[in-house]
Amino acid sequence: MKRNRRVKILATLGPASSEKEAIKKLWLAGADVFRINMSHSSHEVLNNLVDRIRDVEAEVGRPIGILADLQGPKLRVGTFANDEKPILENGATFILDANETPGDATRVYLPHPEILGSLEVGHRLLVDDGKISLRVTETSPKRCVTIVEVGGKISNRKGVSVPDTEIPVGALTEKDRADLLAALDAKVDWVALSFVQRPEDLIEVRNTTQGRVGVLAKIEKPQAIERLSEIIELSDAIMVARGDLGVEMPLEQVPGLQKRMIRACRKAGKPVVVATQMLESMITSPVPTRAEVSDVATAVFEGADAVMLSAESAAGDFPTEAVATMDKIAVEVEQDENYRSIIHAQRTEPEATGADAITAAAHQVAETLDLAAIVSYTASGGTALRASRERPATPIIAFSPEIATVRRLTIGWGLHCVASQDAATEEDLINRACCLANEEGFAKPGQRILVSAGVPFGTPGSTNMLRIAFVGSNDI
């Protein structure tokens, strides 16, 4: 079974979609990769979901990607006396300190000395997803005095974000380290790292994973934007986490940042996922708003590798309908007469390497000769991702003898992923490519395909071969 679109769909699993039949329905509706949110999942739940996804994979006969999303640090205020919910008035003074005594309308405990030690006068603290905004007027390692700029009701353990402050703490908590090891044991394909502020945050994860999974950095902090190119370089993929970005930065800046990140990732040849509130109203409604349809369409027009559903598929009333709706929007956009010209206009020049030059040439040859498919033979996934970066109109088949590579590539734009036996020789590779193109429904006898690979086989990053081959009747 092949999709009728190039952009991929990530669907988050949760109470509304954790059973095997529900997962299968989501896949049939269009989900390519499943996200498991470790904020709400025990290791037992993780293993059960992975097992069910792999059962569905075996039934449908197509590779399915799995993303384990690590929780990251959760910064919260303490509690209030008698569980009260005081109202902070605009212009009032409010103190956050290291005193564990329950709070009131004038102060509250902040159980994060790393924040208190990093704040400076003028910095903001945003409470409860930005509903309350505080500005620091005095600070010390044990307390900070703020003035309430945007007031409201505050209550126990509401979340705190500090958009102006770089906190000297790594992105991995003890829970994250345990969850990361559990995800590796469960053989997931991707791990997503939350709260990335700097490139160094990725190093610990990379040292632990040792290439066994793809590492996806979630961009949700202003500090990450400032060092975006370095973070992209150390990541295998990026997520535009618009929810937290929209809290910590002015909302009107987020659309431009989304465009910037998509183009930066495409230039680097790294997959990029657009996430958060894409079809938010479908949590409770069987149809989306017109604005949500336009939002999804914009991400597809921009050339994002994947679009993601969160609560819509995890806890909503219409999880299958949400995936099917996203699928229909993507299919319609990619058939629009303006789609190809917009995608082509965003194309960047290839890097000055043999592998990139070969891949760019493959794109041009395939479209000039109107070939039926580009078949990328890849051990590590690099050849296929380079082909994906070019965003060709010609379908791309990514095949590999490594099932882990094939599953990881399910997140990449336009990649129809197939696990196949290793090729022994170049001629064997060409024959396998022709057979696959025919079997997967991309090419008929008499049509031509383009095959790209790295020779000698199994050498990552060595894309150096481009062959045009006829699909013959013997390849049926």
Nearest to 418 by CA among 438, 396, 402, 398: 398
79 is known as an active-site residue? no
Strand ranges across the sheet with 107-109: 107-109, 93-97, 143-150, 132-140, 124-127, 160-161
20 is known as an active-site residue? no
- Angle (CA) 384-391-229 rounded to 5° is 80
C-alpha torsion 60→284→72→74, nearest 10: -160
Active-site option among 35, 124, 270, 386: 35
Question: What gap in Å lies between CA 415 and CA 409, rounded to an integer?
Answer: 7
Question: What gap in Å lies between CA 375 and CA 359, rounded to an integer?
Answer: 11
389 is known as an active-site residue? no
| Identity of the residue numbered 320 | T
Active-site option among 139, 165, 276, 325: 276
Sign of torsion, CA 337 338 343 348?
A: positive
Max distance between CA atoms of the chain, in angstroms, equals: 81
218 is known as an active-site residue? yes
Active-site option among 76, 131, 267, 347: 76
| Identity of the residue numbered 457 | F
SS3 110: coil
C-alpha torsion 438→439→442→444, nearest 10: 30
CB 134 within 8 A of CB 147: yes
Question: Which neighbouring-strand residues pair with 241?
Answer: 275
- Angle (CA) 62-427-476 rounded to 5° is 50
Active-site option among 8, 218, 266, 408: 218
Q: Which residue numbers are catalytic?
A: 35, 76, 218, 276
